[in-house]
Amino acid sequence: MSTSINAPYHHGNLRRALLEAALIILEREGEAGLGLRDLARAVGVSAAAPYRHFDGRAALLEALAVTGFQRFTAAMEAIPLANPPDLMAAMGKTYVLFALDNANLFRLMFSPQLKRTAAPACAWPPTRRSKPCAISAVATPRPAASPRSRPWARVHGLAVLLLDGQIAIRAGEDTEALIAEIVRTSLRLAPAILPV
């Protein structure tokens, strides 16, 4: 367990601690409620300390977004392989659940206020890189024109609709099953998935 929690440095691995605390605050208070001083206070460190690890608030937010994309990718990679239709459904479900479980982070990941200097770290759209049949790009060319890109666009739209409350989930409902069904319905309307 001596992987990363230990203190290789002076006060501990601050950068990681900051990011973790920031993720919690972000999810609880929203992006506007994430202040650098609060953050420093939460980690038990001086107000100027974060500046040793991030160029400023904007850079901190960008690092958070990168973290988000990493976790997002990890969640995708964790999906067991399957034949394309099932895989697609599973990825869609994972996509939407990730958005719901990390609402503010997800919003941040696609926020226009990001300068995206670390663009390559923000890997989108999702892929299963181990699978040559994986679904590929959507954002780069003009995705609307590419039939095999539409499913992701649709799933993303679905996620945002849920986040925006345009598709409400009644309390006490089986969220996961409901999501799965919505995704399935949504994808059924999509054109067939083309192997790359």
Partner DNA sequence: CAGATATGTGAACATTGATAACATGGAGCG
Partner DNA sequence: CGCTCCATGTTATCAATGTTCACATATCTG
**Of residues 49 and 153, the one with the C-beta less far from a copy of itself:** 153
Binding partner selected for residue 56 from DNA, a copy of itself, none, CB under the kind-specific 5 to 8 Å limit = DNA
| Residues in 54-93 at the binding interface with a copy of itself, rule: CB under 8 A | none
Q: Give the per-residue contact string, 102-141, with a copy of itself (x = CB under 8 A; - = no).
A: -x---x--x-xx------------------------xxxx
Residue of 6, 28, 29, 58 that binds DNA (CB under 7 A): 58
Query: Quick check: 161 binds a copy of itself (CB under 8 A)?
Result: yes
DSSP string, the chain: --SSSS-SSSSS-HHHHHHHHHHHHHHHH-GGG--HHHHHHHHT--TTGGGGT-SSHHHHHHHHHHHHHHHHHHHHHTSPP--HHHHHHHHHHHHHHHHHHTHHHHHHHT-TT---TTGGGS--S---TT-TT----SSSS-GGG-GGGHHHHHHHHHHHHHHTTSS---TTS-HHHHHHHHHHHHHHTSPPPPP-
**Of residues 52 and 129, the one with the C-beta less far from DNA:** 52
Residue of 20, 31, 42, 57 that binds DNA (CB under 7 A): 57
Binding site for a copy of itself (CB under 8 A): 30, 32, 103, 107, 110, 112-113, 138-144, 152-154, 156-158, 160-161, 163-170, 178, 182, 189
